[in-house]
A and B are shown apart, each in its own frame.
Chain A
């Protein structure tokens, strides 16, 4: 079975570009806080979702809808309605993190295929099998914290399909279990669908350099000529024991393109490209490169160094890593 390439689409142009460049599936979100990329100007309204699904299906590809934040008592109806809308649009799967929402979906839309979101924090097969037994999930997206050996152990002990992150932003924390953003700003991915939200970010030129602050907390200060990326909280420079460094994680992207043969051997079902907040041009280039690499592998052809250099240019801070898949990184 071929590795399925799952690509991000924050907008209709990005969705079309992903399809044009060889995505097997696209994943999208609805407007509002029901997904973990709740940024203004991104995502689809209900009518837009219906049109997107039609377009994707006309080209015989698949579309998934991420509804992967955690609803609360006061706003539950919005999440339930989002599941209804996804079902009515005829999407191929919804990607969920919250158990209550999984129960709602499985009771009201038994035909709807459920995927467990990375935000569900399932890092072991007992957790994944729990979701299968209770909600009949068909696929789980693993948090970016396991080594390859641990991933293989998961695959070998569940009938649920496994999807891995292949390229894009690198969460160094277990997704769904990181509250750093709400500690500083009041809003986290779990409940608000955002991390280090733009409304709380301030850039300021000072005598020391370009400062970036999140709700007043200094995340970094860049000297002239230093590459200043988006101030994600865990990728700032801090002082620990008198030393200033990237104490949590460098600004870097995850890139596992060299692991395609390993992933295929293990029986991974799909590889996911992060980045619904990215431009159509970015989505197009990443999709094209991964399409070539997956096709080359399945066609028995050698890997091409051009893939790596194409992806390096697109990586955060132009650096990339194998992350936790490569044990020494830990």
Chain B
């Protein structure tokens, strides 16, 4: 099983991005997804910067994939998409059907937001050129077992806050009473999202610009064996601003059988003081944490 690092979903400053990927080059992840997948207003990195980082990671032996934005609204969003599609060197992860149109006939990764819930739909993506798919965020292991994807690689998000929703409205800007068009890049102050609690103080969601995430961290490190049996060949970690190297090492250790899953699971929980969840994978409400049957 390979280990991948998803695109950074938050807005981090330019120096932080360079530093982050320099560190990542020295870790044991096999695949790195790069690019701005959430908001077109974020521009700490330009297209050329992403390509530079991509080349560096590629030289370090990583497979690099460029991720497209998930919500593509304007002509300038489309322009950015076309530029990505025509980069000529790196494959793309399509997160919108507009991207799928531009990539048809090329080899691409079908991202988690394409809503491939049935074998028939997945088959169409394969015919169009998908060589790998990332299962929908809310797909359970039971549902995955019924998909039986044989002609492409299967990737599952195993660690990180869950990307739950995309909106036209920017909730971070809204919090600061700013219009989206003049957001003053408020997301920069929230490198791990802006915590939203219920009125009784329970942490519930994390606002990340136009994206809404789970507050809880999805953690499926205890499910890696099960995943292998289901044909999952890639485990995806979603970037977060702390303890990335340790998280990657623990997953690598668990995949290689050098550390017991239960032990790795508790060590991961100790890294970030945020509750974990695995409900979607277990076929339940996403926010829940259920002990595996094994």
Contact = CB atoms under 8 A, between A and B. Distances in A.
Given A72-B117, A123-B72, A330-B180, A177 B166 contact: yes
Given A99-B121, A103-B120, A183-B286, A146 B198 contact: no
Query: Interface majority SS on A: helix, strand, loop or mixed?
Result: mixed
A71 B118 contact: yes
A21 interface: no
B165 A180 contact: yes
Interface string B185-223: 000000000111111111011010000101000000000
Contacts of B148: 73
Contacts of B61: none
Interface stretch (B171-179, B238-246, B253-261): B171-179
B63 interface: no
A238 B147 CA distance: 38
B72 A103 contact: no
A330 B199 CA distance: 24
A178 interface: yes
| Most chain A beta carbons < 10 A, residue from B72, B104, B164, B279 | B164
The interface centre, meaning the residue of A126, A133, A188, A243 with most chain B CB atoms within 10 A of its CB, is A126
Contacts of A99: 120-121, 124-125
Contacts of B81: 126
Contacts of B48: none
A172 B168 contact: yes
Contact of B74 (A97, A150, A249, A329): A150
A217 B198 contact: yes
Contact of B196 (A74, A129, A247): A247
Interface string A228-254: 000000100111110110011100000
Given A182-B138, A247-B175, A100 B118 contact: yes
A328 interface: yes
A188 B212 contact: no
Contacts, number: 211
Contacts of A323: 168
Given A218-B200, A240-B196, A72 B72 contact: no
Contact of A186 (B162, B179, B201, B279): B279
Contacts of B197: 238-240
Contacts of B175: 240-241, 243, 247
B119 interface: yes
A240 B195 contact: yes
Contacts of B167: 145, 172-174, 248
Contacts of B136: 190
A129 B261 CA distance: 46
A76 B104 CA distance: 25
Chain A interface bracket (under 10, 10 to 19, 20 to 34, 35 or more)? 35 or more
Most A C-beta atoms less than 10 A away, residue of B147, B194, B201, B287: B287
B41 to A, nearest CB: 11
Nearest to B97: A127
A129 B102 CA distance: 11
B221 to A, nearest CB: 20
21 contacts: A70-B117, A73-B147, A73-B148, A98-B115, A100-B118, A121-B115, A124-B78, A127-B98, A150-B73, A173-B167, A173-B212, A179-B164, A183-B279, A184-B286, A185-B285, A186-B286, A191-B117, A217-B204, A244-B199, A247-B171, A330-B168
5 pairs of A and B residues whose beta carbons are closest in the complex: A100-B120, A126-B98, A145-B168, A73-B146, A130-B101
Interface of B: 70-75, 77-78, 81, 96-102, 104, 113, 115, 117-121, 123-125, 136-138, 143, 146-148, 162, 164-171, 174-175, 179-181, 194-202, 204-205, 207, 212, 214, 279-280, 283-287
Given A73-B146, A238-B199, 10 more contacts: A71-B117, A73-B143, A101-B120, A120-B97, A126-B101, A129-B101, A146-B168, A219-B198, A247-B171, A330-B170
